[in-house]
Amino acid sequence: MSLEEELRTTIALHRRQRVRELDTGKRIFFPTSTDQVLTLRNVDVCLSSKIILQNVLIRSLSFTLNKQSTLLISGPSGCGKSSLLRLIAGLQYNTSTSPNSCIQFLRRDSTVFLPQQLHLIDGTLRQQLSYLFESKGLGILVEDNVKIRDVLLIVGLEHLLDRYSLDVFEHRWSRILSIGEQQRLMIASALLLL
């Protein structure tokens, strides 16, 4: 299949997907190829609100992210960084009007999306660190204490083990940790999934 035929097939698939998503009111994900992790073609990144129905922040964005590659998203406040991440994470619909606009989404089972505003649970340190396991449907507590200690050391939170223990007391983490510590705790949770 030529590149043009592949592009036409992908565009048709995404059009059908967009219609199904609008009909069902939820995101539909399909697997990506082995090398490409994320592809955007001619996508408009929009700010959606009740006041402004569609305000285009980034027009006709195209890129492909392959395994082992990195992408830095930077820019001033309000330029569309968070809106782009919401779109990539599947938390916002692709509302691009371009007929050849498509997104090959990240696979849910191989990605973790950590939002700017964190939602920590009340519970033990082990329960908090296991939160992403439960949200991914794995429904288990992280039992490997050595792995937990190693990950907390990596993110600079090893002092939490001495201060709060893993299983003894439940805490309201959003009240006792700084914003930076909360973010690092969520990163530790994500690292435990690896």
Is the per-residue pLDDT at 30 higher than 50?
A: yes
At 34, list the tokens: 């082995």
Give the pLDDT of residue 26: 64
Q: State pTM to two decimals.
A: 0.55
Task: Supply the pLDDT for residue 50.
Answer: 47
Residue-by-residue DSSP string for 119-140: -PPEE-HHHHHTHHHHHTT---
Split at pLDDT 50, 70, 90, the class of 1 is low
Distance CA 11, CA 150 (A): 44
Residue 105 is predicted with a pLDDT of 63
- pLDDT for 11 equals 67
User: What pLDDT score was predicted for residue 29?
Assistant: 55
Q: How confident is the model at residue 4 (pLDDT cuts 50, 70, 90)?
A: low
Contact call for residues 44 and 60 (beta carbons, < 8 A): yes
Q: What is the pLDDT of residues 103-162, one digit of tens each?
A: 776 665 566 666 666 778 899 999 999 887 766 666 667 888 999 999 999 999 999 999
Asked if 118 and 174 count as a contact pair (C-beta separation under 8 A), the reply is yes
Q: What is the pLDDT of residues 44-92, one digit of tens each?
A: 888 765 445 567 888 888 888 877 777 778 888 888 888 888 787 766 7
Q: What is the mean pLDDT of residues 19-23?
A: 73
Cα–Cα distance measured from residue 45 to residue 55, given in angstroms and rounded to the nearest whole number: 9
